[in-house]
Amino acid sequence: MDTVQGMKAFAAVAAHSSFTEGARQVGISTKLASKYVGQLEDRLNAQLFNRTTRSVTLTDTGRAYYERCLPLLEQFDELEGLVQQRQTELAGRIRITAPTGFGSAELIHLLKPFQTKHPKVSIELHLSDHHVPMVEEGYDLAIRFGVLKDSNLVARKLMDMRIVCCVSPDYLAEFGAPKDPAALASHNCLLQTTGNTSDHWTFKGPDGAYSVPMSGNFRANSPRAVAHMAADGLGIGRIPLYTAQPFLDAGQLRLIFEAQEAESVGLYAAYPQNRHLTARIRALIDFLAAQLRET
């Protein structure tokens, strides 16, 4: 057994208190993870975990080893990055977490040319509309919208995304177009519940920004769900432009009040502040920023 490989398996199992989840994080089988940890314990002549049929917990020795193990693994990763910087070809794995809608619709199209250019870089993409703890879950990079609340993360802004009002031609034909944003209060508005102001939409007026109270018979925590319902003619939605774009291109949605748009949301690439960025991760962040600037 390679000692570093054993340490990586041990650290992943310890972070998740699970051989199954730890093995998944490092990309090996549960059986192999158990074997590596067992060999590490034999080599150290110490028990690192208390194992039962229901739980896996660190012993006192295991906890002390874990605390010293993490900085060493980061240094090994940094060494690999330094070597890669001197090579013409990037290699290794990047674990990314991203929002479901943006990740499945936009990010995958950006990742394809990057991997075509760097075929030895493997990417593991986890899509979730909840912010997962990066360090605990072992992610290298998080793609996130909005203000980052985790002070332990370093963020690089990739772009500002417009927040747009959209409606289907069928809805307009049946109910007419609102003459101004204030008139939205009398229309069926489709609300996205992930924002802090889902019941009030902000617009730009001659005297500055103002908000309009909204109500409607459909709410969802996914902007894509709002886009689909708007395209089906249920009501008027307000969503990020990337979500609306496929429906706009297909003629299923139209933008309204573009001149009054007052808000945008930042898209960021975030990573733990105490982690050295390897060459492959830095290259990916630079690539995403360049591609999104062009877009």
pLDDT tens digits, residue range 213-255?
A: 988 999 988 888 999 999 999 999 999 998 899 999 999 999 9
Instruction: Report the alpha-carbon distance of residue 19 to residue 1 in Å, rounded.
Output: 17
- Number of Cβ within 10 Å of residue 139's Cβ equals 21
What one-character DSSP code corresponds to residue 182? G
- Positions of the chain with pLDDT lower than 70, given as ranges: 1, 78, 80-88, 150-151, 195-198, 274-276, 295
| Assigned fold of 161-263 | D-Maltodextrin-Binding Protein; domain 2 (3.40.190)
Q: Which two tokens stand for residue 187?
A: 């229309």
- The CATH number of 92-160+266-294 is 3.40.190.10
Domain with CATH 3.40.190.10 in the chain: 92-160+266-294, 161-263
Model pTM score: 0.64
Domain with CATH 1.10.10.10 in the chain: 3-85
pLDDT of residue 244: 92
Residue 24 exposed, middle or buried by CB count within 10 Å (0-12, 13-18, 19+): middle
Within 13 Å of residue 91, how many CA atoms lie on the same side as its CB?
8
| Assigned fold of 3-85 | Arc Repressor Mutant, subunit A (1.10.10)
